[in-house]
Amino acid sequence: MNLYLFAIREDIRQPLNILLILLIPFSLLFIPANADGFPMGISLYGLVLVYSTFLLTRPVVEDRMKGIVVRIAASPIGTFRYLSNHLLAYLTLITVQIVLFLIGSFVIYGDAVFDRLSIFALYLSFSIMCIAFSLAWNSLFRTFNLSFGVFSGVASIMCLVSGISIPLFLLPHTLIGYIMFLPTYWLPHGLLAIYEGDSTGMLVAHAVLLVYAVIFLLVGSKRRL
């Protein structure tokens, strides 16, 4: 079995992950539709993505904490291969979740949610950023529990002020100039651009999310034994 399949199996062995991937996103679909944009559930799904990716990346953190990384460093498997296989595995699981969520949104909302391909692409960019962010975040802590404890607070605040938990049009206009520095802002920004048919806004959202992802990957991929 190669590393990629092993990482997938390791993740789906945990019941909490199955619950996160399959059940929790669907509960969001029952939030009523919004008159000035996509239904709230489409934006709130960003919150689920943030937490799902964080929990899915747990094995990488545990490998470091249990000292398995030291054994891997002594084996013929390079750091690049180890990380890329694991991260791709997590992205695969998240992609499955996104596809299921979009199918669910089609069933529940029908035509109220359109241009699903663009939404899928935006969710994918956001997930890549979230996976990289989780990797970088966890590299700052020695234990997963402490990391998750601090993360849950920070992520909730980030999602709250950046338009994921509260629609963007409800936020004060002056605040937008500041929250643009948060990576989570670019999901609601991209969703709004898709709703308004603004392709430039959409591309910028993708670009910013991917640049953030690269920066977080550079920070998080540094080998710490």
Partner 1 sequence: MSKPRPDIRPRHVYWVLLGVLLASVASQVMPRTGPFAILLYLFTIFSLILRWRFPLSPTTMLVDMAVVIVVSLFAPSNVVFLPIFVFYFCVHNKPVFTIVALVMLGRYGSNFIWHLTALAIVSGYLLFLWERQRSRLENEVDSLRQHLHEMAQTEEHLLTDQYATEQVSRLVERQRIAEILHDNLGFELTAALLSVKAAGTLMTRHQFDKALVSQQKAEARLTNAMTQLKTAVRQIEPQEATDLDRITNLAESFVYPVQFSCNGDIALLPAYVRQLLFVSLQEALTNISKHAKPNTITLSLETTQAIVRAVIENDGLITGEPTVFGNGLRYMRRRIEAVNGSLSIQKGETFRLIMILPLKE
Nearer to partner 1, 76 or 177 (CB): 177
Report the residue number, 71 or 142, with the smaller CB distance to partner 1.
142
Beta carbon nearer to partner 1, 58 or 206: 206
What CA–CA distances, in Å, run from 92 to 33, 87, 97? 29, 9, 9
Residue 12 near residue 90, CB atoms below 8 Å: no
Burial bucket for residue 188 (CB in 10 Å: 0-12, 13-18, 19+): buried
SS3 161: helix
CB closer to partner 1, 169 vs 178: 178
Residue that has been written with the tokens 């008159």 in this structure: 35
Nearest distance in Å: CB 214, partner 1: 6
Q: How far is the CB of 98 from partner 1 (least distance, A)?
A: 24
Neighbours of 13 (CB within 10 A): 10
Contacts with partner 1, residue ranges (CB under 8 A)? 174, 177-178, 180-181, 201, 204, 207-208, 211-212, 214-215, 218-219, 221-222
Q: Residue 106 Cβ, how far from partner 1 at the closest point, in Å?
A: 30
Decide whether 41 or 188 has the Cβ nearer to partner 1: 188
Minimum distance from residue 15 beta carbon to partner 1 (Å): 36
Question: If you ran DSSP here, which 8-state letter would residue 180 be given?
Answer: T
Q: Which of 26, 190, 176 is nearest to 109 (CA)?
A: 26
Q: How far is the CB of 39 from partner 1 (least distance, A)?
A: 25
